[in-house]
């Protein structure tokens, strides 16, 4: 049975905390455009992330670094227009919050004003805690992001598992507490050992959303194009495909081509 319904209440950051406290798992996916976001929202998703992964999925870049604030605003505004129920979170892209707390706040306010999203997401730990606090104090909900943080990919040297060693694991726990104290309502935990994700989840009051962090987090998130089978060649251990839309779309396009070339489309019923 699906969750498609017309009487769902709007999900808020408070709802995420309530779900954590009630032991109810939170389901999130990414979206970058109006049509896709509308379908995902209507299906009953709890949260939609307008991720800087739009740089990869929508623009074909090798990583998330090139995407700009203007481009994130374009995608986030399109998504927010389509969504009635899910919590919509927008990534702050690389360079929009690292230079200074003041510039971060200026960009955060601009994104919120111009898009209509519900919250923002920032990557980093204790080093961005003051920035997170300033944004939260301005009335803007913030989700943190720890573990594999794609904006720091050149520092890590790859997309491998993070926090395998004790020192890095301890730092991640410290970072999680710093983000919680700064006011984050949630923290994304990406590609870390499940046992560490469990420790973080148990030790913070904010909701934890995992991607490649086991099933112990308060919720899960995947890139929609990966989860629904639109991409190819990307097969990390944590990914499960819940549909094969690439195959279905290919078959549909081939059917259209064949119908046009056979002068079968449009037929008399499809003509004026």
Q: Report the alpha-carbon angle 86-91-95, nearest 5.
A: 170
| Cβ-defined contacts of 228-235 (< 8 Å, 24+) | 231/57
Q: Examine the pLDDT at 81 and tell me if it is beyond 60.
A: yes
CATH number corresponding to 13-241: 3.20.20.60
What is the chain's mean pLDDT, rounded? 96
Whether residue 247 lies in the annotated active site: no
Q: Write down the pLDDT at residue 1.
A: 38
pLDDT class for 6, splitting at 50, 70, 90?
A: low
CB neighbour burial string for 199-235, b if at least 16 within 10 angstroms, e if fewer? bbbeebebbbbbbbbbebbbbbbbbbbbbbbbbeeee
Secondary structure E strands in 140-218: 142-147, 186-190, 207-211
* Average pLDDT, integer, range 9-36: 99
DSSP 8-state secondary structure symbol assigned to residue 92:
P
pTM, whole model, 2 decimals?
0.95
52 is in an annotated binding site: yes
Question: Per-residue pLDDT tens for 126-159?
Answer: 999 999 999 999 999 999 999 999 998 888 777 8
Question: Per-residue pLDDT tens for 174-211?
Answer: 999 999 999 999 999 999 999 999 999 999 999 999 99
Q: What are the sequence ranges of the domains in the chain?
A: 13-241, 244-272
Please check whether residue 169 is in contact with residue 196, taking contact to mean a CB–CB distance below 8 angstroms.
yes
* Average pLDDT, integer, range 94-99: 97
One of 190, 244, 247, 270 is an active-site residue; which one?
190
Is residue 194 classed as helix, strand or coil in its secondary structure? helix
């Amino acid at each position: 049975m699906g969750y498609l319904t017309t009487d769902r209440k709007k999900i808020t950051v408070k709802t995420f905390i309530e779900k954590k406290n009630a032991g109810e798992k939170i389901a999130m996916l990414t979206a970058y455009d109006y049509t896709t976001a509308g379908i995902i929202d209507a299906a009953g998703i709890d949260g939609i992330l307008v991720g800087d992964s739009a740089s990869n999925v929508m623009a074909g870049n090798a990583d998330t670094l090139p995407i700009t604030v203007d481009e994130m605003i374009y995608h986030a505004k399109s998504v927010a227009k389509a969504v009635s129920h899910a919590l919509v979170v927008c990534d702050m892209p690389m360079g929009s919050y690292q230079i200074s707390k003041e510039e971060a706040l200026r960009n955060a306010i601009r994104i919120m004003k111009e898009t209509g999203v519900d919250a923002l997401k920032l990557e980093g730990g204790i080093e961005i805690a003051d920035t997170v606090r300033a944004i939260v104090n301005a009335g803007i909900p913030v989700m943190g992001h720890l573990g594999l943080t794609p904006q720091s990919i050149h520092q890590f040297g790859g997309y491998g598992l993070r926090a395998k060693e004790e020192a890095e694991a301890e730092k991640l726990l410290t970072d999680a507490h710093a983000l919680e104290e700064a006011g984050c309502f949630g923290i994304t935990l990406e590609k870390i050992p499940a046992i560490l994700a469990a420790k973080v989840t148990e030790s913070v009051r904010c909701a934890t959303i995992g991607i490649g962090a086991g099933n112990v987090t308060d919720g899960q998130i995947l890139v929609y194009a990966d989860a629904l089978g639109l991409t190819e060649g990307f097969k990390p251990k944590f990914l499960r495909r819940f549909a094969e839309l690439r195959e279905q779309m290919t078959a549909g396009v081939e059917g259209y081509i064949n119908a046009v070339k056979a002068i079968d489309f449009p037929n008399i019923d499809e003509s004026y």
